[in-house]
Amino acid sequence: MHAEIVTTGTELLLGEIEDTNSTYIARQLREVGLNLYYKTSVGDNEERAAMVLRQALARSDVVITTGGLGPTVDDVTREAVARATGRELVFLPELWDQIHARFARWGREPTENNRRQAYIPADAIPVENPVGTAPCFIVESDEGIIISLPGVPREMKHLMEHSVIPYLRDRLGLREIIKAKVLRTAGIGESTIDDLIADLMTQSNPTVGLSAHAGQTDVRITAKADSEASADALIARMEARVRERLGEWIYGEGKQLLEEALVEVLRQGGHSLAVLETNSRGALAQRLASVPGSQDVFRGGLVALEAATLTHSLSVPGDLIAQHGYPSCQVAAEAASRLRGAYHASLGLAVLGTAGEAEGLYGKESGHTCVALVGLGEPELYEFDIGGSAHLSQIWVSTRALNVVRRAVAGVMAG
């Protein structure tokens, strides 16, 4: 069996508010093992909403709607559900009494338009809303089940937890659970990961999927089982296979940030780090400094927007810059070495690139960045075809640079 979520509200289609309700409902359904295959949004139009609901019933066993249960004329979910299931709206005095009681606790009287909220489709199961004024309902039909919830997140969450989930467990005999685990990678492209684990991504249980971000890619492993322990076992076996393929490209799990993983590795290895950056314009330092406790391992950073800063602040020889050019790996290595001494750090990291003028995928970009890490033996030098001063470019550059340090320190510890 599977479910579908239908969110109503023109404000969703206009992008005026973010749909957090669907995210919450999806997680709740996952906890009880009910697959979610579709999510749909529709505006405050009765005809279009009814059409969407008919389509949802044709392909899904359970349809959960949010929004459109208020007292105003643009709250059309009740009418749309009635039309989609071929029913009339009927007035339930007990719902009207509940609305009166709710207003009475606030020292107010409901207005006549609140009376609309006491109407639900014929033969629907009323669901009392103890935290709001909009009664909810469940329609059971031959085509499937429609559960209509309010759009106010606080009310929706209460009803999902206390009414909907218990109903679904009992009505559908749900005894399974769906769990997911995310492995986080950096420094490796989505297409490369796909090439390495493509066969694993064709498995049905557990499933393996990818989610790409700027400079990083998440690997999501999802399992369905009759218990949490069984789901964990399925995930663990698949995780071992993924880790065997991707190895050191995996830096963490769940919501762990790359900078958090790096601070942890530096602390475990007994290292401290100082950074010099140009085209990332302080993004590296900001990311490291944002990690609680990073002051134990992060000595500080210097932002150099032009080559002259290297000669003035770090005494990098001008003839070296003239000989190899700026940016270059040779200059980056010398700057990282001098930076390490100036900040009394065991490791020095220099990220050199130009601000760029050409318009590209990442904004104003130069298309070239040189990275040097010193302090672990021979300097480690890298060149990336990414550059520029745009925000997205800074994320890519700083992510690549942070991962250079993480892999290098972790490699020394492992070897």
Dist. CA 337–CA 262, nearest whole Å: 20
Q: What topology is assigned to 2-172 in CATH? A: Molybdenum Cofactor Biosythetic Enzyme; Chain A (3.40.980)
Taking only the tens place, the pLDDT of each residue in 69-90 is: 989 889 999 999 999 999 999 9
CA distance 242 to 221: 9
User: Residue 167: which residues within 8 A CB-CB, separation 6 or more?
Assistant: 138, 147
Does 363 have pLDDT greater than 60?
no
Residue-wise pLDDT tens digits, 181-230: 999 999 888 999 999 999 999 999 999 999 988 889 999 999 999 898 99
* Percent helix, percent strand, percent coil in the chain, to nearest 5: 45, 25, 30
Q: How many residues does the chain have?
A: 415
| 249 three-state secondary structure | helix
The residue written with tokens 């602040």 in the block is 313
Beta-bridge mates of residue 261:
none
278 and 353 Cβ atoms separated by less than 8 Å = yes
Class of domain 258-414 (CATH, top level): alpha beta
Q: What is the amino acid identity at position 239?
A: E
What are the residue boundaries of the structural domains of the chain, listed by start? 2-172, 177-253, 258-414
The answer on pLDDT for 361 being more than 90 is no
- The better pLDDT of the pair 367, 65 is held by 65
Q: Please report, rounded to a whole number, the percentage of residues in the chain having pLDDT higher than 90.
A: 67
Give the pLDDT of residue 258. Answer: 96
Closest-CA residue to 382 (of 407, 345, 361): 407
Higher pLDDT, residue 53 or 386: 53
Q: What are phi and psi of 19, to 5 degrees?
A: -85, 85
pLDDT band at 367 (very low <50, low <70, confident <90, very high): low
Residues 3/34, Cβ–Cβ less than 8 Å:
yes
Can you read off the two tokens belonging to residue 362?
A: 């990442």
Mean pLDDT of 357-373: 64
Residues forming beta bridges with residue 66, ordered by sequence position: 7, 149
364 pLDDT tier (thresholds 50, 70, 90): very low
User: Nearest Cα to 373, choosing from 363, 381, 365?
Assistant: 381
Model confidence, pTM: 0.75
Helix, strand, or coil (residue 52): helix
Q: What is the DSSP pairing of strand 89-91 with strand 347-353?
A: unpaired
Say if residues 398 and 357 touch (Cβ distance below 8 Å): no
Instruction: Give the CA-trace dihedral at 246, 252, 254, 257, to 10 degrees.
Output: -120
pLDDT in the model for residue 79: 96
Question: What is the second-level CATH architecture of the domain 177-253?
Answer: 2-Layer Sandwich (3.30)
CB neighbour class for 365 (10 Å; exposed up to 12, middle 13-18, buried from 19)? buried
Side chain identity at residue 289, one-letter code: A
pLDDT score at 192:
93
The per-residue pLDDT for range 302-342, each reduced to its tens digit, is: 888 777 788 888 888 888 888 888 888 999 999 999 999 99
pLDDT confidence of residue 356 = 53
Element (H, E) at 4: strand 2-8
pLDDT at residue 366 is higher than 80: no
* Sequence-ordered list of residues with C-beta below 8 angstroms from that of 412, at least 6 positions apart, any chain: 269, 376
Give 297 or 354, the one with higher predicted confidence: 297
Bridge-partner residues for 91, per DSSP? 119
Amino acid of residue 55: Q
CB-based contact 138:145 (threshold 8 Å)? yes
Mean pLDDT of the chain: 90
Q: What per-residue confidence (pLDDT) applies to 365? A: 47
**Whether the Cβ atoms of residue 8 and residue 44 lie closer than 8 Å to each other:** yes
Residue 144: pLDDT band by 50, 70, 90 thresholds? very high
R_g (Cα) of the chain, nearest Å: 28
The H or E element that residue 195 is part of is helix 190-197
Show Cβ contacts of residue 68 under 8 Å, excluding neighbours closer than 6 positions.
Answer: 8, 9, 44, 49, 74, 75, 76, 77, 78, 80, 148, 151
